[in-house]
């Protein structure tokens, strides 16, 4: 009885693992001022390029060492989570709202509307996403809001193309035709019949997009087109550590590891939710 009381998606090891990783990073982002041992921009030129505390020559005051300006690496990683999670959540939700809305309209109504939206997506996706993001950032200027806007303007097409194919299949199901026959409006048919059937795919795409958004933001901050120099970001930390890769490889390894862990967490969370929420996959596994 106790096992049945627990939602099925919370019994998945993938979901629990991904949710734990994402929750820990989110908590670090929210409580960064309380968790960080130092001000992330505080410079100590006497203690530059210190190794981690567990390596010979390290200091307990700087658990992950310091960078070339004597700034605490751990503090900068923790505050960098704020930028990463803000971009991941807001940019992904914005791209989902635009892409999913157009996908439902195109897949449900079909015809000329579907053709018009499809051509628009094809033209927009003909540009390499990272290059298009860089071009947009040149026009929009640096800043966290512009990073989010650039990712939304680029990645809505991913939601639209993948979700549209699913909507086309669902819209031809018998229960959708039955809903139309009994007089349900287009809005009611989409929200009550089509959206619930495509929700597992939408959740998966949203989780994957959050990981992609983190990578795109890291690339933009790496080339100096994201947040300002006074705001710690993981991509910015990688760019700063390149010059001292032989003297302090940990400065390069830690932000790369954080990007990998964050993207892995979102990916495994999305995959776990898809496996547990998708009725078709669940039925196949039971069979």
Domain holding 157: CATH number?
A: 1.10.3720.10
- The pTM assigned to this predicted structure is 0.88
Integer-rounded Cα radius of gyration of the chain: 22
| Tokens encoding 81 | 């989570």
For residue 17, being part of any structural domain is answered with: no
Alpha-carbon 56 to chain mean position = 37
Per residue in 68-108, pLDDT (tens digit) is: 899 999 999 999 999 999 999 999 999 999 999 999 999 99
Residue 9 lies in a domain: no
* Residue 121: inside a domain: yes
Residue 7 within any structural domain of the chain: no
Residue with tokens 């300006």: 69
Give me the number of domains the chain comprises: 1
Domain span holding position 254: 78-286
Average pLDDT, the chain: 88
Q: Give a yes or no: residue 65 inside a domain.
A: no
In a domain, 52, yes or no: no
Using pLDDT thresholds of 50, 70 and 90, give the confidence band for residue 221.
very high
- Domain assignment present for residue 12? The answer is no
- For residue 122, tell me if it sits in a domain: yes
């Amino acid at each position: 009885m106790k096992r049945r009381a627990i939602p099925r998606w919370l019994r998945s090891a993938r979901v629990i693992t991904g949710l734990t990783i994402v929750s820990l990073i989110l908590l670090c982002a929210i409580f960064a001022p309380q968790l960080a041992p130092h001000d992330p921009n505080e410079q100590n030129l006497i203690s530059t390029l210190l190794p981690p505390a567990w390596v010979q020559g390290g200091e307990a005051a700087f658990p992950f060492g310091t960078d070339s300006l004597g700034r605490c690496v751990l503090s900068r990683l923790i505050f960098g989570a704020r930028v990463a999670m803000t971009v991941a959540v807001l940019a992904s939700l914005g791209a989902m709202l635009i892409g999913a809305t157009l996908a439902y309209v195109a897949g449900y109504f079909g015809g000329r509307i579907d053709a018009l939206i499809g051509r628009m997506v094809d033209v927009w996706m003909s540009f390499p996403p990272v290059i298009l993001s860089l071009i947009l950032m040149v026009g929009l200027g640096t800043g966290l809001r512009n990073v989010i806007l650039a990712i939304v303007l680029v990645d809505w097409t991913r939601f639209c193309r993948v979700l549209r194919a699913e909507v086309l299949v669902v819209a031809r199901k018998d229960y959708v035709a039955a809903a139309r026959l009994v007089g349900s409006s287009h809005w009611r048919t989409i929200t009550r019949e089509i959206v619930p059937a495509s929700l597992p795919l939408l959740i998966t795409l949203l989780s994957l997009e959050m990981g992609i958004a983190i990578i795109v933001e890291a690339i933009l901050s790496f080339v100096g087109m994201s947040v300002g120099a006074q705001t710690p970001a993981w991509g910015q930390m990688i760019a700063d550590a390149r010059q001292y890769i032989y003297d302090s490889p940990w400065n390069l390894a830690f932000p790369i590891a954080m990007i990998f862990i964050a993207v892995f967490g979102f990916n495994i969370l999305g995959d776990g939710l898809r496996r547990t929420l998708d009725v078709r996959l669940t039925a196949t596994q039971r069979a």
